[in-house]
């Protein structure tokens, strides 16, 4: 004989409240764990990217020093070439001035241009013409001028003129100009 009209409910630990609680906590724990995994992944990726960045920065550092060195070489090349071009242009000017200096009545047979001097060999109708027309301008340019004469076959006079610039005189001239 049964004491109830309904079938007895089977008792279980998984009640409605328990299921609700489990689902609530499962969701919370899932979110926490996924956040944790995200942070672990992100931190790892930061560390890796930072190491790569540092390496790239070091490479850039090397590139920068290379570029600086290249700039120096290129500037050195340009400055040396400009100096040489200037030197050649000045040389041309000096030679032009030298030949312009020689009066038409005096004929040169040889000219030797030195670093700080000039040696001229030539022939002049007489000593006076040489003194007035060539010696005077040479004296104004060079600090030391020596000339020796000897007679030529045609009655003219051959001359050898040796002229030097004293480096100390040049220094004095420079100082005067600067002042």
Partner 1 sequence: MSSISRPHIYLLIVTLFLLIFVFVFSFELLIPKGKEYRILSVDMKKEIRKFRQYKDYSDTKLGIVQELQQKNRVIIEAFNYNFNPEKFQKQYKEYFSKLQISPKTELKNEKEFKVYEVNATSQINSPKSFYNFLDAVNKGDWIISVNFPIKFKRKEDGISSSFTMKVYKIDKKLALHGIKNNLLNN
Q: Which helix (H) or strand (E) holds 176?
A: helix 167-178
* Contact indicator for 157, 151 with CB cutoff of 8 Å: yes
Residue 124's beta-bridge partner residues?
Answer: 157
Strands (E), 116-164: 117-124, 144-151, 157-164
User: Quick one: residue 157, left, alpha or beta (phi over 0 = left, psi -120 to 50 = alpha)?
Assistant: beta
Please report, as residue ranges, which positions from 91 to 110 form the binding site for partner 1 (by CB under 8 A): 91-92, 95-96, 99, 107-110
Contact track, partner 1, 112-141, x by CB under 8 A: xxxx--------------------------
Contact between 84 and partner 1 per CB under 8 A: yes
> Which residues are near partner 1 by CB under 8 A?
13, 15, 17-18, 21-22, 25, 28-29, 32-33, 35-36, 39-40, 42-43, 46-47, 49-50, 53-54, 56-57, 60-71, 73-78, 80-81, 84-85, 87-89, 91-92, 95-96, 99, 107-115
């Amino acid at each position: 004989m049964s004491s109830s009209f309904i079938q007895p409910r089977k008792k279980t630990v998984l009640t409605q409240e328990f299921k609700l609680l489990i689902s609530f906590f499962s969701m919370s724990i899932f979110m926490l764990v996924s956040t944790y995994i995200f942070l672990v992944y992100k931190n790892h990726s930061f560390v890796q990217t930072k190491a790569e960045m540092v390496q790239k920065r070091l490479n850039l550092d090397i590139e920068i020093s290379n570029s600086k060195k290249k700039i120096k070489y290129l500037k050195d090349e340009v400055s040396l070439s400009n100096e040489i071009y200037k030197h050649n242009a000045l040389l041309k000017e000096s030679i032009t001035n030298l030949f312009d200096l020689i009066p038409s009545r005096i004929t040169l047979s040889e000219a030797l241009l030195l670093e700080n001097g000039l040696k001229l060999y030539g022939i002049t109708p007489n000593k006076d013409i040489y003194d007035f027309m060539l010696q005077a301008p040479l004296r104004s340019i060079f600090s030391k001028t020596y000339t020796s004469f000897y007679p030529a076959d045609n009655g003219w006079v051959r001359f050898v003129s040796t002229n030097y610039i004293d480096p100390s005189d040049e220094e004095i001239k420079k100082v005067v100009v600067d002042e």
